[in-house]
Structures are given as C-alpha cells and as structure tokens.
C-alpha cells in the first residue's frame, strides 16, 4: 500500500465505520446481562472462553449471587463450581470475589461509571472497563480484544500489538460517538468474516478499504492471521510498510 497520510487514513476509517454500520446495523455485545454488575462479571468470565459458554453459565450465577455483596460473601467452592465450565475457574472465581469485595468496600456496592475507577477493581483491565462503559453505561469505549487487534492491524488502522497503543491509534482516527458501535461491529466482523486463519476477503464488506488482500495476493482467503510468523523478504517489506 502506498504511503497514506493521516488525513487519508482518517477518511478511510470513516468509510470503514459506514460500511460496518451498513453490514452489521444490530451488532451488540454478545454477552447477556441486565445490569452493569452482571456485564462486569460476564466480561471477566469471557477471558479465554466463548461468549456462548459464558451465557450458558451466567443465568445460574446471577440468580445465586444477584449483588456484589452476595458474591463477595459466597463460599469460594460454590462460585468455582458455577463458573467451572468457563475454564481457569479457580482463578476466575477468585478474581470475581475480589472484584465484588472491592465494589462493596470502595464503591458502596455499585459499579462505577468511570474508566479510572473501573480499572482499580481486582481483575479489571481497560478492555473489561471499556466493555462495561460502552455497553452498560452508554459511555463511549474502545474494546481492544483479539478481534479488534487483528482486524485493525489488517486494515492498517494501527501497526501496534499493544492494546493500549491500538486504542490510542483508534482514538485519533474515530469520533468518540462511534467507539462502542465500532468495537462491537469489528468484533462481530472478526468472528464472521475476518477470521484469524481464514479471512473471507472475497466476500468482505471492507475489501475496497483494506490493504490486506492486495498485500497477501488473491488467495487471501487461505492465509494465516495477522499475528502469524513472517520470514525473509516479505517480513522485511511488511515491516518497512508498517513503519511508514
Ligand atoms: S478484506 Fe480480508 S483482511 Fe481485510 S477486513 Fe476484510 S476479511 Fe479482513
């Protein structure tokens, strides 16, 4: 891809936002929840686990522990048993209870609607905090998960690997009002089209705005993901392009 000015990249980002909105007008956070606390719990459980599996587990968990206080005071073994299907269940149960204790002791049992406060909770990083802010509170947030990372790298809207740096790049490119919808739509797009191992470039709504198919050739549908190892001349060329 020829060198792209900041203004041209911003225009391209705006077209990408429009195309995603047309393709996935109803894309939402796939986790089921009714309150900010429930979304916080579900998001913690979604680490290294599918949203579908989390959604199978959370109804019973929310029924048994409807509030931060109930979760904080629960017997650890009971929490572990309920979250066991989501994997890493001992650590997740521990994180959930520590987070619930933080909410009770420092926030009166309420989930704070501020990024700087949310990230002080045990087990809550920027990704989880932005999911909660954007979806439960309607406060714009960019959620940089594995799909956001891969798709934005392929779209050349970032050249970074670090989620915070990717977030900063996107903040520069996208109006704040688009952050939450953009995150949900890109995550959905990463699941149904721009998959890690087999991006479906031939049928992609972003194809005309994406440098990846050109860079990888016509057979882009069978290539490995953006994070795959590259060797030799191609890696040096890609590295030089990415540094521009
Ligand atoms: S054109 Fe291919 S690489 Fe680019 S966003 Fe679409 S599926 Fe992903």
Tens of pLDDT along 87-114?
A: 999 999 999 999 999 999 999 999 999 9
Residue 243 included in any domain: no
**CA–centroid distance, residue 154 to ligand 1 (Å):** 7
Distance CA 83, CA 31 (A): 15
Report how far Cα 173 is from the mean position of its chain's Cα atoms: 17
- 209 and 148 in a common domain: yes
CATH of the domain at 83: 1.10.340.30
**CA–centroid distance, residue 213 to ligand 1 (Å):** 7
Count of domains forming the chain:
2
* Mean pLDDT, the chain, whole residue set: 89
Task: Please write the tens of the pLDDT for every residue from 179-230.
Answer: 999 999 999 999 999 999 999 999 999 999 999 887 665 444 443 444 443 3
The per-residue b/e assignment along 47-57, b for 16 or more CB within 10 angstroms, e otherwise, is bebebeebbeb
- 43 and 16 in a common domain: no
Ligand 1: atom nearest CA of 216 is: 3
Residue 241 included in any domain: no
**CA–centroid distance, residue 210 to ligand 1 (Å):** 6
CB-based contact 178:16 (threshold 8 Å): no
Domain with 78 in it: 36-110
Residue 161 annotated to the active site: no
pLDDT at 176: 97
Q: Is the pTM value of this prediction over 0.95?
A: no
Indicate the pLDDT class of residue 68, thresholds 50, 70 and 90.
very high
Ligand 1: atom nearest CA of 211 is: 4
Residue 181 annotated to the active site: no
Q: Which positions ≥6 away from 68 have C-beta within 8 Å?
A: 37, 100, 101, 103, 104, 109, 111
């Amino acid at each position: 891809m020829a060198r792209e000015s900041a203004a041209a990249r911003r225009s391209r980002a705006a077209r990408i936002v429009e195309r995603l909105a047309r393709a996935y007008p109803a894309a939402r956070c796939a986790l089921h929840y009714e309150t900010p606390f429930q979304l916080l719990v579900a998001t913690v459980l979604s680490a290294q686990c599918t949203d579908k599996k989390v959604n199978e587990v959370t109804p019973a968990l929310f029924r048994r522990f409807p509030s931060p206080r109930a979760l904080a005071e629960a017997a650890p073994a009971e929490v572990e048993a309920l979250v066991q299907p989501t994997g890493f269940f001992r650590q997740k149960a521990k994180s959930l209870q520590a987070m619930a204790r933080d909410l009770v002791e420092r926030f009166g049992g309420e989930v704070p609607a501020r990024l700087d406060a949310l990230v002080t909770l045990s087990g809550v990083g920027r990704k989880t905090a932005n999911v909660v802010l954007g979806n439960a509170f309607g406060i714009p947030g960019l959620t940089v998960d594995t799909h956001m990372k891969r798709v934005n790298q392929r779209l050349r809207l970032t050249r970074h690997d670090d989620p915070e740096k990717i977030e900063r790049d996107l903040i520069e490119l996208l109006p704040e009002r688009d952050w939450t919808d953009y995150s949900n739509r890109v995550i959905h797009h990463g699941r149904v089209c721009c998959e890690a191992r087999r991006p479906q470039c031939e049928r992609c709504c972003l194809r005309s705005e994406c440098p990846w198919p050109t860079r990888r050739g016509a057979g882009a549908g069978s290539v490995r993901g953006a994070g795959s190892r590259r060797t030799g001349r191609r890696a040096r060329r890609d590295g030089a392009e990415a540094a521009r």
